[in-house]
Amino acid sequence: MIIYYDGKFLPEDKASVSVFDHGFLYGDGCFEGIRAYNGRIFRLKEHIDRLYDSAKTIDIKPPMTKEEMTEAICEVLRRNKLDNAYIRPIITRGKGDLGLDPRKCPKPSVIIIAVTWGAMYGDLYEKGLKAVTVSVRRNPAECMPPNVKSLNYLNNILAKIEANYKGGDEAIFFDTNGYISEGSGDNLYIVKNGEIITPPTLNNLRGVTRLVVLEIAKSLGITVREQNLGYFDLYTADELICSGTAAEVAPIVWVDGRTIGSGKPGPVFRQLAAAFGPLTKKEGYPIHGKPKKLAVK
């Protein structure tokens, strides 16, 4: 496997991060998760924009332009001969000392990893996932905005640990006000009386897939509303759906012992999933377009 690391394309065993990198010491950095399908990178611009917005919020100046980032991602895929992949660009604060002060970290680092990763939930797209609500709350926006896809994913990992102990395939977070936030790694939607309702995005990550789901819903003539939801809405939904780059579009049929709707993936999920698959294959940034000159720093 070839990894991009600060301007170099290195074999995996040579791509090691300094123990003084604040990304390693403090989770000080940000990242993206992106998929490529059939030689095209799905919604690449949206992911790169979010990566740079995350970096800006935590005051990291990426050492490359968005165009250079685009080209570096394509080159990683080309060098690994991957037309279908899960891609992980990472920007860390870079090497510093053991103190917190970012001023001691003169140069951010960029790492890009790409792997083969098929359907994350295997046969659960047909059977439906079991989800559990967790006691750990999503980081509130006034502390660590969930809109920043920060390298510090401990909040999400704690939710996942709790879901694992409680026998859930996925965790459902509430925010500190008791509203539904999101899954540990995906956005949530309920379907009620034919409408899709999803929480607004202050208390969760503004999913790129979420926007795709909402676009598809609109094109299918399904009404979409953004509204705060509580656990009453969760348990009494006709359908529950989650979406994310890794998870894609997946049905949840059981929450905290309650069967959701019919207990089977529902018709709205089926419509969304049927449209999502073909869309991922037909659009996207071409990996094998004319390679642009890659500025090596």
Q: Give the footprint of ligand PMP on residues 2-61 (CB under 6 A).
A: 33
The window from 81-89, 123-131, 237-245, 253-261 that contacts ligand PMP (CB under 6 A) reads: 237-245
Site string for ligand PMP, 96-125 (x = CB under 6 A): ------------------------------
Kindly tell me which of 20 and 37 has the beta carbon lying closer to ligand PMP.
37
Q: Which of 95, 130, 149, 160 is catalytic?
A: 149
Q: Least distance in Å: CB of 291 to ligand PMP?
A: 26
Buried b (16+ CB within 10 A) or exposed e, 161-172: ebbeeeebbbbb
Residues 6+ apart with CB under 8 A from 18: 24, 95
Which of 94, 244, 261, 265 is the binder for ligand PMP (CB under 6 A)? 244
Site string for ligand PMP, 180-219 (x = CB under 6 A): --x--xxx----------------xx-xxxx---------
Residue 294 dihedral angles phi and psi, to the nearest 5° = -100, 115
Which of 245, 255, 285, 287 is the binder for ligand PMP (CB under 6 A)? 245
Whether 218 is catalytic is no
Q: Least distance in Å: CB of 186 to ligand PMP?
A: 5
Kindly tell me which of 9 and 52 has the beta carbon lying closer to ligand PMP.
52
Kindly tell me which of 22 and 47 has the beta carbon lying closer to ligand PMP.
47
d(CA 216, CA 230): 25
Kindly tell me which of 68 and 186 has the beta carbon lying closer to ligand PMP.
186
Which amino acids are annotated catalytic?
149
Residues that bind ligand PMP (CB under 6 A): 33, 156, 182, 185-187, 204-205, 207-210, 243-245
